[in-house]
């Protein structure tokens, strides 16, 4: 065993940083102290992983982090060695390098070689297409074959859907902007959950639309509150996220969906259904658009089932007349979705990559929720077994702002409830995301920091003197 490995093992045990960051820190410390010298060969990834009892991916990330800092090089035929000229102050790193970001609600990235190869094959297939065709303006709302692909993908959620009612959009956010623009004007009201997806707060503020936040429970919107609002002053539309509500993970039962639909019908209130997470649960109830197709604008995309970078969404309208109106509005607000992304989305729908990725993300989310259940023994939170976020109640005497600041000072980023709150007082809660590029080890480490914070008194956790 290399004589520096025991030091690294001790450093990992004592460090509050993620394991991969601690590895890079240990290398930096040995270089600074002279324990490691220029051109000295380091252990192979497999040897180091076995000796430190870490998985291969974590050790590989540790070496990658050390290389990013300019500490080591990888040389063909030799292996990994210490660089001859190391940058000054190799131990110092920016906060971002050590922060595990649990703020962005991104799906986990399954370490599945077969799935990654499918992604690569799909991207490579674009080279066989006519490049000039991809560089031209396309039909607004998508070519017929791309809308057909959307119908095929959505068919399991919306049986009987026709191409004439489907538009291809540059992501869900662009579709929501178009719908808010069509259904309301400045000064009008759109109803939504009192705690909801923050993207619509930005849209409403931009357009001068007022949001009426409705009380929610474990199944989402309270039907009585929605009915009372409609009876007193019907909103121009109802926006809702009925499956795995962001941020609380609440999911409307079939009975609750039927109640909401019946009230909307009675008062002729259009529904904007944001089904961004609808494909994740293996047993999702039918969408509102399946129960009330004549009232519902249905929006979904790939951000939560594949990855946010593709920026492709699908919008289903109640009828052909509305399809034309939405198409014209999308042309004004965003012109069109990127032809490269659309071509990739259509291929991945048709060759099964979307279905495979969704299943892999669903499986990985289950693993991470299992980790949360094991680690968060003292915490009060709500989650869904196949979601990749959870809604954590902040215990007294902490408050949500101090709690989030404390976690950030320990390298974990979470989102306070104020970000999601439309009306009423913001609850003492934070959203914790379990996905993104963080590994399972990173996820567990972050959750352990959260659990430790819950068990501490804020006065004892303070670093202020």
pLDDT of res. 462: 63
Give the C-alpha separation, 398 to 376, whole Å.
16
Q: Which residue has the tokens 């380091």?
A: 42
The least confident of 19-23, 189-193, 238-242, 303-307 is: 19-23
344 closest CA partner among 300, 304, 311: 311
3-state secondary structure of 419: helix
Cα dist from 404 to 199, 228, 407, 409, 438, whole Å = 21, 36, 5, 9, 19
Closest CA to 59 of 44, 41, 74: 44
Report the top-level CATH class of 5-93. Answer: mainly alpha
User: Which residues have C-beta within 8 Å of that of residue 46, sequence separation ≥ 6?
Assistant: 56
CA atoms of 334 and 329, how far apart (whole Å): 8
Contact call for residues 305 and 361 (beta carbons, < 8 A): yes
Give φ, ψ of 63 to 5 degrees: -65, -40
Confidence band (pLDDT; 50, 70, 90) for 189? Answer: very high
- pLDDT > 50? residue 94: no
Structure tokens at 336: 């069109």
pLDDT of 463 > 90? The answer is no
How many other CB atoms are there within 10 angstroms of residue 205's CB atom? 11
Category of 11 on φ-ψ map: left (φ > 0), alpha (ψ -120 to 50) or beta: alpha
Q: Give all strands of the β-sheet with 415-416 in edge-to-edge order.
A: 380-382, 389-393, 429-433, 415-416
Count of other CB atoms within 10 angstroms of residue 429:
25
Residue 99 has pLDDT above 80, yes or no: no
Does residue 91 register a pLDDT over 70?
A: no
3-state secondary structure of 194: coil
Range 400-418 average pLDDT: 91
Measured CA to CA in angstroms, residue 90 lies from 29, 69, 74, 85 at distances of 8, 7, 18, 11
- Please choose, from the candidates 197, 178, 128, the residue with its C-alpha nearest in 3D space to the C-alpha of residue 333: 178
Mean pLDDT of 356-385: 96
- Residue 6 — very low, low, confident or very high, per pLDDT cuts 50/70/90? confident
Percentage, residues of the chain above pLDDT 90: 70
- Residue pair 407/431 in contact by the 8 Å Cβ criterion: no
DSSP secondary-structure letter at 241?
-
The band of 10, judged by pLDDT with boundaries at 50, 70 and 90, is: confident
Pick from 217, 224, 230: nearest CA to 191: 230
DSSP 8-state code for residue 195:
B
**Is residue 21 classed as helix, strand or coil in its secondary structure?**
helix
Residues 6+ apart with CB under 8 A from 228: none
210-214/189-193 β-pairing: parallel
Strand boundaries in 26-129, DSSP class E: 72-75, 79-82, 100-101
Terminal C-alpha separation, the chain = 44
pLDDT in tens, 69-83: 888 887 766 788 898
- For residue 164 the two structure tokens come to 């004439």
Question: Residue 221's beta-bridge partner residues?
Answer: 216
- Residue 464 backbone phi and psi in degrees, to 5: -85, 135
Query: Using CA atoms, how far apart are residues 357 and 93, in angstroms rounded to an integer?
Result: 34
pTM of the model: 0.79
- The radius of gyration of the chain from alpha carbons, rounded to an integer in Å, stands at 25
Topology (CATH) of 355-461: 3.90.1150
Q: Tokens in use for 177?
A: 């902007």
Q: What are phi and psi of 80, to 5 degrees?
A: -95, 130
The whole-number average pLDDT for the span 336-351 is 96
pLDDT tens-digit map of 250-289: 999 999 999 999 999 999 999 999 999 999 999 999 999 9
Residue 38: the pLDDT is 86
Q: Mean pLDDT across the chain, nearest whole number?
A: 91
Which residue pairs, CB below 8 angstroms and at least 24 apart, start in 209-218?
A: 209/180, 209/184, 209/185, 211/422, 211/423, 212/422, 212/423, 213/421, 213/422, 213/423, 213/424, 215/424, 216/245, 216/248, 216/250, 217/250, 218/250, 218/382
For residue 216, give the H/E element and its range.
strand 216-217
pLDDT at 98: 54
Q: Taking the domains of the chain in order of start, what are their residue ranges?
A: 5-93, 129-351, 355-461
Q: Domain spanning 129-351: which CATH class is it, in words?
A: alpha beta
Q: What is the dihedral of CA 183, 187, 190, 194, to 10 degrees?
A: 160
Confidence label for 395 from pLDDT (cuts 50, 70 and 90): very high
The backbone torsions φ and ψ at residue 74, rounded to the nearest 5 degrees and listed phi first, read -110, 120
Residue 367 has pLDDT above 70, yes or no: yes
User: What pLDDT shows up at residue 2?
Assistant: 61
The per-residue pLDDT for 97 is: 45
Residue 399 pLDDT > 60 = yes
């Amino acid at each position: 065993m290399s004589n520096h490995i025991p030091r690294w093992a001790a450093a990992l045990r004592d460090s509050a940083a993620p394991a991969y960051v601690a590895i890079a820190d240990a290398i930096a410390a040995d270089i600074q102290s002279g324990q490691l010298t220029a051109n000295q060969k380091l252990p192979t990834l497999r040897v180091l992983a076995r000796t430190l009892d870490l998985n291969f991916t974590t050790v590989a990330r540790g070496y990658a982090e050390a290389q990013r800092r300019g500490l080591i090089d990888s040389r063909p035929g030799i292996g990994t060695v210490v660089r001859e000229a190391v940058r000054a102050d190799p131990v110092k790193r920016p906060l971002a390098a050590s922060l595990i970001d649990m703020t962005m609600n991104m799906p986990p990235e399954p370490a599945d070689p077969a799935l990654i190869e499918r992604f690569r094959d799909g991207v490579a297939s674009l080279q066989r297409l006519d490049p000039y065709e991809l560089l031209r303006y396309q039909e607004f709302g998508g070519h017929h074959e791309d809308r057909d692909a959307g119908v095929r993908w959505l068919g399991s959620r919306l049986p009987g859907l026709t191409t004439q009612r489907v538009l291809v959009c540059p992501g869900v956010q662009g579709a929501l902007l178009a719908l808010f623009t069509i259904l309301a004007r400045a000064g009008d009201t759109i109803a939504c959950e009192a705690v909801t997806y923050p993207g619509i707060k930005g849209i409403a503020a931009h357009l001068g639309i007022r949001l009426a936040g409705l009380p929610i429970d474990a199944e989402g919107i309270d039907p009585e509150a929605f009915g009372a609002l409609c009876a007193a002053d019907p909103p121009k539309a109802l926006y809702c996220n009925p499956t795995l509500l962001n941020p609380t993970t609440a999911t409307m039962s079939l009975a609750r969906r039927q109640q909401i639909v019946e009230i909307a019908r009675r008062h002729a209130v259009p529904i904007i259904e944001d089904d961004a997470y609808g494909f994740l649960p293996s047993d999702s109830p039918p969408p509102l658009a399946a129960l009330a197709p004549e009232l519902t604008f249905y929006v979904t995309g790939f951000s939560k089932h594949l990855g946010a970078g593709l920026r492709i969404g699908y919008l289903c309208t109640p009828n052909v007349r509305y399809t034309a109106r939405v198409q014209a509005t999308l042309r004004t607000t965003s012109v069109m979705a990127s032809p490269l992304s659309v071509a990739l989305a259509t291929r991945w729908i048709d060759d099964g990559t979307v279905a495979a990725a969704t299943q892999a993300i669903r499986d990985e989310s289950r693993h991470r929720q299992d980790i949360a259940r094991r680690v968060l023994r003292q915490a009060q939170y709500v989650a869904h077994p196949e979601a990749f976020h959870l809604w954590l109640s902040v215990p007294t005497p902490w408050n949500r702002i101090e709690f989030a600041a404390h976690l950030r000072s320990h390298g974990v980023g979470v989102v306070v409830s104020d970000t999601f709150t439309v009306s009423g007082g913001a609850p003492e809660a934070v959203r914790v995301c379990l996905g993104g590029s963080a590994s399972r080890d990173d996820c567990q480490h972050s959750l352990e920091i959260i659990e430790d914070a819950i068990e501490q008194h804020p006065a004892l956790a303070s670093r202020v003197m």
